[in-house]
Chains A and B, each alone.
Chain A
Amino acid sequence: MNEDGVVRIWTEVARESKGESVTLAHVCAAAVTLVGVNGVGVTVRVGSSAWATMHATDETASTLEELQVTVGQGPCVDAFSDGGPVLAADLTAREYQLRWPAFAPGALGAGARAIFAVPLQLGAIRWGAMDLYRSVPGGLDPDRLADALAFAECVNILLLDGAGDSAEPTRQQTDRTAHQAEVHQATGMLVVQLGVSAETAFARLRGYAYAHDRKLGDVARDVVARRLRFDTESPDGGGPP
């Protein structure tokens, strides 16, 4: 991806975290500033049907997340199930009133006029969605959408690391090999080798790469080429195979 974009985003996140380890709160606060919205909320799926709100930057954002969790509809729910962003530029539009009959009026009542949801996902791995709201109507221009998607990737990494302590986040974000097809193929192979979920498989792959100070794509390439197996070594890639 665009290197400048990544740097800009992590500079803002670092400004928010003031040198402490990066949390969801820092990422959401930085998203408010850079995407140019009033508030941000993050809600994740727990088990097969329940939702949990991990963070909301203000009371309106908190109400929006709570509302969606309660009524089971809204942009976050749709972004999660469709696997793509949902961009509602004006909640008073008939289209959204019909699409979310329980959510839209409540959201307007809470002070939101436009709402944008981006899924927190990596292929078949799905965590939830990030909602960004504005109190005034209007769409999200392509650059701001790009920022929102980049923030969603930051949130993915935090969720993957257990929401709170993300070591060397900048390096993880700027590893240009992280998007290679082999990374996803290797994740699939580890699902079978280890008998775990794709999320756990991906976490193990990343854990190995960082423990061995290697690029994610390079480790993935070894797995795909069958030079490296994970089912014959210690957990979390502690030692060489």
Chain B
Amino acid sequence: MDEQLLAEAFVEVADTLVDDFDLLEFLHRVTVRCADVLSVSAAGLLLSDQRGALRMIAASSEQTRLLELLEIQTDEGPCPDCFHSGKPVAVPDLSTAGDRWPVFAAQAREIGFASVHAVPMRLRGDVIGALNLFDTRPGNLSPGTLQLGQALAAVATIALMQARAIRHRDTLAEQLQTALNSRIIIEQAKGVIAERRGVDMAASFALLRKNARDHNRRLSDLARAVVEGTEVI
């Protein structure tokens, strides 16, 4: 683990959360930071949709197979278990997880992952989602690394609360639904760009992000404009 990277991550958080920030871009960066700082292959964030199901909100890579693996966890996987128990879930060896989560374990191994961890996103007494950490090497994450994972999950939670406060939403439930809908807008925009430019979904997401950054736009605002056809990427 690199302390410099961790310090940078927290400075970025402090910098970003002061203004009317871009929640989806921020959560994407949290997952990228997780993968870097915790030295895992990939990270993903899932949020509760208030109906007992988890939905993917951000991932360190927009590679389709990874997004699918996160989505499977609407039904089964370490994240729902973590979400319902409120406790971290550690699977140091995915080859032993086939009985517990047949679909999830098979797909995770097919992608090349050997171990997976999940830590809860907590807000006071409630669990609102889970942070998923994948690695191509088997083994448990150290207690220190898991603790850092918890800290980064808390950062994502703080971001959601901050977005809620900025937009004057009264409850977290209001903010969660808005964020999940923003994720759908981004998927729709990825489709528009992929078709127009003849690229795959990961490249399409990269184009969307680059455009948002270059023009200082929020990812979800630009994505909506792309879907509605008022802006072309």
Which of A87, A146, A188 contacts B227 (CB under 8 A)?
A188
- Residue A82, interface by CB 8 Å: yes
* A189:B191 contact, CB within 8 angstroms: yes
C-alpha gap A87/B175 in the complex (Å): 11
Q: Mark B109-136, 1 if CB is under 8 A from A, else 0.
A: 0000000000000000000000000000
* B174:A85 contact, CB within 8 angstroms: yes
C-alpha gap A121/B224 in the complex (Å): 12
B72 and chain A: residue at smallest CB distance: A180
Q: Mark A38-82, 1 if CB is under 8 A from B, else 0.
A: 000000000000000000000000000000000000000000001
Q: In angstroms, how far is the closest chain A Cβ from the Cβ of B21?
A: 16
B178 and chain A: residue at smallest CB distance: A84
Chain B contact residues: helix, strand, loop or mixed? helix
* B188:A2 contact, CB within 8 angstroms: no
Chain A residues whose CB sits within 8 angstroms of the CB of B194 once the complex forms: 185, 188-189, 224
Q: Mark B192-220, 1 if CB is under 8 A from A, else 0.
A: 11111000010000000000000000000
- Residue A7, interface by CB 8 Å: no
Q: Mark A161-182, 1 if CB is under 8 A from B, else 0.
A: 0000000000000001001110
Q: Mark B48-67, 1 if CB is under 8 A from A, else 0.
A: 01111101100000001001
- Residue B74, interface by CB 8 Å: yes
User: Given that A123-B185, A188-B187, A224-B201 are known contacts, is A5 also in contact with B227, CB under 8 Å in the complex?
Assistant: no
* B190:A87 contact, CB within 8 angstroms: no
- Residue B173, interface by CB 8 Å: yes
Subset of 28 A-B contacts with CB under 8 Å: A2-B53, A82-B167, A82-B169, A83-B177, A83-B178, A84-B169, A84-B181, A87-B171, A87-B174, A139-B171, A142-B50, A142-B173, A146-B51, A149-B49, A149-B177, A180-B68, A181-B187, A184-B188, A185-B188, A185-B201, A186-B191, A189-B191, A189-B194, A189-B195, A191-B195, A192-B195, A193-B195, A198-B188
Interface, chain A (partner B; CB < 8 A): 1-2, 5, 82-89, 118-119, 121-124, 139, 142, 145-146, 149-150, 176, 179-181, 184-193, 197-198, 224
Interface, chain B (partner A; CB < 8 A): 49-53, 55-56, 64, 67-68, 71, 74-75, 167, 169-171, 173-175, 177-178, 181-182, 184-185, 187-196, 201, 223-224, 227-229
